[in-house]
Chain A
Amino acid sequence: MLDCVVFLADCLVSVSQCIEVIIGGLDYNQNKVNQWTASIVEHSLTQLVKQGRPFKFIVNCAIMQKSGAGLHTANSCYWDTATDGSCTVRWENRTMYCVVSVFAVALTC
């Protein structure tokens, strides 16, 4: 798990950069948000896979407009705590929140 956690800590930076590149400086736009979430998950996944590590990955992204509504997220995992891990990036600007979670599950072969 230590190896996985260190790896994911490094990935936090590349995921944050993906978010900044795709929606940094933009205002929430209902017509584009669909494209934005898809781009963020795809680019993040590409960066993770490029590292060539023996993991299966799940990348989850949620973008929410800032309007005073409450939002709460939770996740729970049934896996091998010695080899698998996750990390979450929270990003915001004036008009929206973006939460990206990465789950890495070790390949057994």
Chain B
Amino acid sequence: RYCCSPATITVLHAFVFVSCQTAFVVDEVSTIIKESVEGAIGGNAYQHSRVNQWTTNVVEQSLSQLSKLGKPFKYIVTCVIMQKNGAGLQTASSCFWDNTTDGSCTVRWENKSMYCIVSVFGLAI
């Protein structure tokens, strides 16, 4: 009869805990971004004189929350804010990295007067 000792179980549990803590988790990052965007521009209408400050706030707030996760990643956060007036906008990105450890996440947000697109790229150290 095989019986797993309590010591072995503890070790396995710690291993799983550590690898979850060091992966790029899209949902976790997505939540951080949505909160940053909502906090910076939620409830506002597009204003040319303020959009510079808004994009700065979105990226800085996002980066601050991401670095607080304490994971071994370098991060790149980009933010685009576009006024809604019927113009077309298309964005694409391509990455040369380590597929097993690195990841990205894009959040699209809009209100009546503007679109906000935020992309986060996480590169394992």
Contact = CB atoms under 8 A, between A and B. Distances in A.
A73 B83 CA distance: 12
Contacts of B85: 67-69
Of listed B77, B78, B102, B104, residue having the most chain A CB within 10 A: B78
B96 A76 contact: no
Nearest to B90: A33
Nearest to A70: B83
Interface residues on A, range: 35 or more
B78 A73 contact: yes
Contacts of B11: none
Q: Lowest 4 A-B CB distances belong to which pairs?
A: A74-B55, A37-B92, A76-B59, A41-B94
Contact of A103 (B59, B66, B76, B81): B76
Contacts of B76: 58, 75-79, 86, 103, 105
B98 A56 contact: yes
A77 B52 contact: no
